[in-house]
Amino acid sequence: MSIQSRNNVQILGEGSVTMLFAHGFGCDLSMWRNFAPSFASRYRTVVFDLVGGGQSDLSAYNRTKYGSLSGYADDVIEIIEECAKGPTIYVGHSVSTMIGMLAAIQRPDLFLANVMIGPSPSFIDDGDYSGGFSREDIDELLGALDSNYLGWSSTMAPAIMGSPEQPELADELTNSFFRTDPEIARHFARVTFLADHRGDLSSVTTPTLIVQSSDDLLAPLSVGEYMHRNIAGSSLSIVANVGHCPHLSAPGPSKEAAEAFLGTLGY
């Protein structure tokens, strides 16, 4: 099985620098349609599906390998080695921000910069750390997903998307959740919502931008501020947006934040 078919890799544009875009839980590469194409005139832009999502090869899904985010990070490294030309700017959303961070810690030589949209190193409150949810909240969320995946998707997708003035986006996210294999979604949800990568933040050496919605159910402002404090030299940009997907609901301001950050690096 080729890496490109495994991850449904699609390449647009050419340039001496590559931009690699990674989607979040329950999504696919189409979620970058309002974001990635605007960079294709200057960069080699690469979009792909995480194994288990979109048009990836579901036969490649291995519960052991993907029992932690490190398995996905290994895939990202392989995609860069196979499909990138020159150094890579990684743009991740939600759980894929942590996947890219782990990949960059493992292979910093492959990464020019890391743009994190709606990141969270841990969703669970712990002492002075406010992740947005108690452990009981997360257990209830996962229990609801186990008992009624379609019902859970219908309820959670609109809450995650936010952006009440654009209800079509909530419908799109709901349908994306519906298309995801329920067993894979249940497994990936546990990997996502029970992960704790706070201890990895101090190991980041790649220039990092944190793009944070001003009102985000899954990644509240306190999380973005925590990451900014704990990733040396990072930048934090707050985008006026309700919801967890500003690359869809507020693509203009999100792209402006990314462009300004890349400009400071000379790209």
List active site positions.
Answer: 94, 216, 244
Q: Any idea of the CA torsion for 8, 13, 18, 23, to the nearest 10 degrees?
A: -40
Which residue type occupies 194? L
Which residues are 235's β-sheet partners?
Answer: 209
Q: For the purposes of burial, counting CB atoms within 10 Å of the CB of 232, is it exposed (0-12), middle (13-18) or buried (19 or more)?
A: exposed
- CB-based burial, 117-130: b 16+ in 10 Å, e otherwise: bbbbbbbbbeeeee
CB 240 within 8 A of CB 216: no
